Chain A
Amino acid sequence: MPHRSNIGKRINVSHPILLSFLTHSHAPKLSVSDKMASGEVKLIGAWASPFVMRPRVALNLKSVPYEFLQETFGSKSELLLKSNPVHKKIPVLLHADKPVCESNIIVEYIDETWSSSGPSLLPSLPYDRAMARFWAAYIDEKWFVALRNFLKAEGEEEKKAVIAEFEEGNALLEKAFIDCSKGKPFFNGDHIGYLDISLGSFLAWLRVTELAASYKLLDEAKTPSLCKWADHFCNDPAVKPVMPETAKLAEFAKKIFAKPQA
């Protein structure tokens, strides 16, 4: 590093790494240049989709304005098919027209691209990050599948089995919350993060399922920490505007599940 006389010189606080030290309590990381974070942001999605809700919360947390391009239920736009030719699914984030697909991947992209805006969405330690990713994968591959099965279950035996599976999953997540949050309100600590978003995005559908099944899926007696967390999550200003209203979602669910099963 070149020697510089610092008599009379102020510390350059706008230097990315130094700014990072001062504004974030976690380990410093290279701040992204303004160039990387600039460019129009669009999100292809639908109001009812929990997967779409994820990047919306992330963009809100980072105070990034975006254009929400709503897909019509039952059809796929040209833009969607062009932007996600592999899966043809929502959400798709378009940043300066470059597509990013898969909700959890989009959330990480948002966190990395707008790293100097708002708190970090992932923990700073590699082990804690691995845990967050592990539980996010579990939520999508197992927990959500069990939730979906609730609506499909027919007959007492099947219903009992689905309930047991779901409650087992909830018990795991209750413990995961205690381990990850370390006494703070969110999985990510003081602020909503990747794992909070991954699970929280399902809360509206969970409520709709509770109504349809007449069964309390998130029970204060069984999972007190998760219930408290759900309250905090739903009341967060980054979440409230994009969380579907239960009544509206219930009506939508009736409509789409009224169709004969394929």
Chain B
Amino acid sequence: MADEVILLDFWPSMFGMRTRIALEEKNVKFDYREQDLWNKSPILLEMNPVHKKIPVLIHNGKPVCESLIQVEYIDEVWPSKNPLLPSDPYQRAQAKFWGDFIDKKVYASARLIWGAKGEEQEAGKKEFIEILKTLESELGDKIYFGGETFGYVDIALIGFYSWFEAYDKFGNFSIEAECPKLIAWAKRCVERESVAKSLPDSNKIVEFVPVLKKHIGIE
């Protein structure tokens, strides 16, 4: 019996990108369904009643919510191709630690870059760069966060790269100047088919930011 895999998603979401990448890495065919976050569909509300957020992965009718939980789920259901998490418990714990760090820190500070002004924006920029530098230091001289193979932590972070051009523009700074090694890592990731297929063009995100600001009622 063929698996039915549906992904409820929103094209600019760096969280949705994680799940897209994981599914592509595993060569899983899925039905991508674009959602309107300002007019939420019945299926979204039914499948994620607790948070009403995307992405939602629906596998044979059963929903899995939260992007990193989805990535781990995908890795467990389709284990034979391209393992996304290491098999060693200590390495797994490190990968999850950094995934959790990315979840807790990156979005909140980045939001201030495009969503705030003046002092608040400057504080956001500063914090964002500090967070990226911490990640850069964790990456070190490795090809990917996990070492030789692309995996969980790379997947957790790479979606944000599609927003870097927007951050640069609206923050009036250069992330590459501050974190060249991280940009080099991102460019390596984008060479992977799964990532190239899953990330939107950066210029589309730049165009999207004013639309987003209007929707949430800022500026």
Contacts and interface: CB of A to CB of B under 8 A. Distances in A.
A129 B93 contact: no
Q: Which bucket holds chain A's interface residue count?
A: 20 to 34
A137 B73 contact: no
Interface string A102-142: 10011011001100000000000011011001100110000
Interface stretch (A42-50, A59-67, A93-101): A93-101
Contacts of A109: 89-90, 92-93
A36 B89 contact: yes
B89 A126 contact: no
A108 to B, nearest CB: 7
Contacts, number: 57
A102 B69 contact: no
The binding surface of chain A is classed by DSSP as helix
A140 to B, nearest CB: 10
B93 A133 contact: no
Interface stretch (B4-12, B95-103, B197-205, B208-216): B95-103
A137 B62 contact: no
Nearest to A85: B134
A164 interface: no
B64 A102 contact: no
A108 B65 contact: no
A98 B88 CA distance: 14
A130 B97 contact: no
B65 A95 contact: no
B77 A126 contact: yes
Interface residues of B, number: 23
B49 to A, nearest CB: 9
Interface string A20-36: 00000000001010001
Interface in B62-120: 62, 64-66, 69-70, 72-73, 76-77, 87-90, 92-93, 96-97, 100-101
B177 interface: no
B50 interface: yes
Given A102-B100, A127-B64, A137 B69 contact: yes
B96 A127 contact: no
A102 B99 CA distance: 11
Nearest to B74: A126
B97 A127 contact: no
Contacts of A129: 72-73, 76
A262 interface: no
A59 to B, nearest CB: 14
- Most chain A CB within a 10 A radius of its CB, from B62, B90, B101: B90
Contacts of B90: 95, 98, 100, 109, 113
Nearest to A131: B64
A146 B200 CA distance: 37
A102 B97 contact: yes
A63 B72 CA distance: 28
B96 A102 contact: yes
A32 B65 CA distance: 30
B73 A105 contact: no
A105 B97 contact: yes
Contacts of A32: 89
Interface of A: 30, 32, 36, 86, 95, 98, 100-102, 105-106, 108-109, 112-113, 126-127, 129-130, 133-134, 137-138, 172
11 contacts: A36-B88, A36-B89, A100-B90, A100-B93, A108-B92, A109-B93, A112-B89, A126-B73, A127-B62, A129-B76, A134-B66
9 nearest A-B residue pairs (beta carbon) = A112-B89, A126-B76, A109-B93, A130-B73, A100-B93, A130-B64, A113-B89, A105-B96, A133-B69
Given A36-B89, A113-B90, A133-B66, 18 more contacts: A32-B89, A102-B96, A102-B97, A109-B89, A109-B90, A126-B73, A126-B76, A127-B62, A127-B64, A127-B73, A129-B73, A129-B76, A130-B64, A130-B69, A133-B69, A133-B72, A137-B66, A137-B69
